[in-house]
Structure 1
Amino acid sequence: MISDDKLSIVFPAYNEEASIARVVKRTREIKPRAEIIVVDDGSNDRTALEAASEGAKVVRHPYNKGNGAAVKSGIRTATREAVLLLDADGQHSPEDIDRLLEHMGQYDLVIGARDFSGQAGLHRGFANWAYNSLASYLVEMKIPDLTSGFRCFKREKVLEFIHLLPNGYSYPTTTTMSFIKSGYNVKFVPIKVHKRAKGSKSKIRIFRDGIRFINIILKIITLFNPIKIFLPIAAMWLLLGFLYGLGNVVLRGNIPNGAVLLLSMGIIFFLVGLISEQIAALRFERIGQVDTQLLEIISHELLTGEQVGVAREDG
């Protein structure tokens, strides 16, 4: 388990004056030696003042940038080995923190997974089920809760993907899929959630942000494993072309141009998928080689005391 003096707890907050002081106070009582950071994302109420009154380190955005932007600010501000994210609206229980921390060390990312009863309404629960199912297929791993904001990860690991995190509400999706597809150890721990504090409202809009979630899922999987996207599309076009052509051969004795076009589309999608897969593999192989070079230089400097300059260029 990660000790308190190696833990930073980050609360992204926007207009959460109704709950932030109580949540920070309870968290400090449970984890008195942890670094507690509240990122006020351009609130127009007393969120920052309420958080500061309970001893939290407050980072303020001059205007509202989005939940993901607040999370990125919190990660950059954190100074400890592990970073734990908690919602500021009181839904997550600080008492569950140790349930996640006990798995840190063996795992690089631990996520508090809500059950269906913990979803905010039937429509939200169904939408999350759809996201979880799509993501599980794409990463070939069972994902019980893709969008939970209650999670803990090693700071050095999440910094590898921080440039991928969107400014909106899709950072849980991005971090979860990025960690899994990069081969890091990911653990889901069942948790219960509470009702939001009175006066606190969800900032997520099911249709607007739902489309963004799906877009993020497809972007991440295209970055890490594009064949999972292109292969089913190619198979669909090939199957349609084959059935259309076979039907016309049986009924009319010829192969129509439409069948040839469908088959050609299938072949094109398959070849694009193969090329994308090779580009993705080369990109991560290049990054791995640069990381190995950096480790060798650091080891050399530690052993000899000499300083060696190197310019890193991320692909």
Structure 2
Amino acid sequence: MDKLFIVIPAYNEETNIRRTIDEWYPIVEKYNGDGQSRLVIINDGSKDNTYQILCDCAKTRPLLTPLTKPNGGHGPTLLYGYDYAIKNGADFIFQTDSDGQTNPEEFHQFWAARNSYDAVIGQRSVRGDGKSRKFVENIVCLLLRMIFGIRVSDANAPFRLMKANQTAEFIKKMPADFNLPNIMLTTYFVYYKKHVKFIEISFKPRQGGTNSINIKKIVKIGWKALGDFRQLKKEL
């Protein structure tokens, strides 16, 4: 049976993390290939009780694997989680976030499509996190079109199911501290003409806690990403 690793980064999510576990643990239980599928939640150096809550929840949930690391940001934490899943024999990696914006019930159609595609990626036409985030996503997609020649409408959705062997090949192309690995994974899957399916998903407002990313940080990350995109294009 296929081994599924669900990878979720978490930073200062003590108000959300129990809900996240309660929502996603039944998914990994349902699709538990040979008893080795895992819900992997990576604490990215939180300053609150996120990791303690994770460890407490893991006492009664054998498929939950809490990890912790020094704070490095969302992107490097994703790469850390992807690398962990690959090294532990995952066949498929699914990624979402810990802020309650995605709907676990929408996972099933992704899983049903897993053998027909190298990646099944969420697409958010309607976003509950505000017009500014949608504007940023549109700019990102424009840059990808200009630099890589690919056309996508949502490159960064935190709701994606990917074949682990293909993901392993692509993350080798990125530095370990890369800020936007999901954007580049989408780019690689499309650029190299892998079998990709985009499925419409719902995307709610954050369900609790405080968003650590503001517009100032987005602009800073975006400016750096422009240079990174150009460098990664040279290496294709």
* Normalised TM-score (structure 1): 0.64
Asked if 1:17 is matched to 2:14, the reply is yes
Secondary structure of the corresponding residue to residue 164 of structure 1: coil
2:44 aligned partner, one-letter code: D
Decide whether aligned partners of structure 1 residues 216 and 149 sit closer, same or farther in structure 2, where only a CA change above 3 A counts: farther
Q: Which one of 181, 192, 199 corresponds to residue 191 of structure 2? A: 181
Residue 114 of structure 1, CA deviation: 0.8
- Partners of 1:100 and 1:217 in 2: CA distance: 28
Q: Which residue of 2 aligns with 1:212?
A: 224
- Partners of 1:140 and 1:99 in 2: CA distance: 29
Secondary structure of the corresponding residue to residue 160 of structure 1: helix
- Partners of 2:120 and 2:231 in 1: CA distance: 23
Deviation string 1:8-47 (CA, Å, 9 cap, x unpaired) is: 0011111111111111111112331341001111111111
Output aligned runs, 1:165-180, within 5 Å: 165-166=174-175, 167-180=177-190
Asked if 1:88 is matched to 2:91, the reply is no
Secondary structure of the corresponding residue to residue 235 of structure 2: helix
Q: Which residue of 1 aligns with 2:74?
A: 67
- Partners of 2:96 and 2:11 in 1: CA distance: 13
The answer as to whether partners of 1:85 and 1:151 remain within 8 angstroms in 2 is yes
Residue 140 of structure 1, CA deviation: 4.1
Output aligned runs, 1:59-138, within 5 Å: 59-61=67-69, 63-78=70-85, 79-115=89-125, 117-118=126-127, 120-138=129-147
The answer as to whether partners of 1:144 and 1:188 remain within 8 angstroms in 2 is no
Q: Which residue of 2 aligns with 1:48?
A: 51
Decide whether aligned partners of structure 1 residues 214 and 90 sit closer, same or farther in structure 2, where only a CA change above 3 A counts: same
2:65 aligned partner, one-letter code: K
List runs of 5+ in structure 2 lacking aligned partners: 59-63
Structure showing the higher helix proportion among its residues:
1
2:19 aligned partner, one-letter code: R
- Partners of 2:195 and 2:202 in 1: CA distance: 23
Secondary structure of the corresponding residue to residue 131 of structure 1: helix
Secondary structure of the corresponding residue to residue 31 of structure 1: helix
The answer as to whether partners of 2:28 and 2:39 remain within 8 angstroms in 1 is no
2:228 aligned partner, one-letter code: I
**What is the aligned-residue identity percentage?**
27
Q: Which residue of 1 aligns with 2:155?
A: 146
Q: Which residue of 2 aligns with 1:6?
A: 3
Decide whether aligned partners of structure 1 residues 137 and 177 sit closer, same or farther in structure 2, where only a CA change above 3 A counts: same
Residue 51 of structure 1, CA deviation: 2.1
Q: Which residue of 2 aligns with 1:38?
A: 41
The answer as to whether partners of 1:170 and 1:212 remain within 8 angstroms in 2 is no
Q: Which has the higher contact order (CA 8 A, sep 6+)?
A: 2
> Considering only aligned residues, what root-mean-square deviation do their CA atoms show, in Å?
2.0
Residue 71 of structure 1, CA deviation: 1.3
1:71 aligned partner, one-letter code: L
Deviation string 1:102-160 (CA, Å, 9 cap, x unpaired) is: 22122111111111x30632222122112112323544443010121221111111111
Q: Which has the larger radius of gyration?
A: 1
Structure showing the higher strand proportion among its residues:
2
2:13 aligned partner, one-letter code: E
- Partners of 1:161 and 1:70 in 2: CA distance: 16
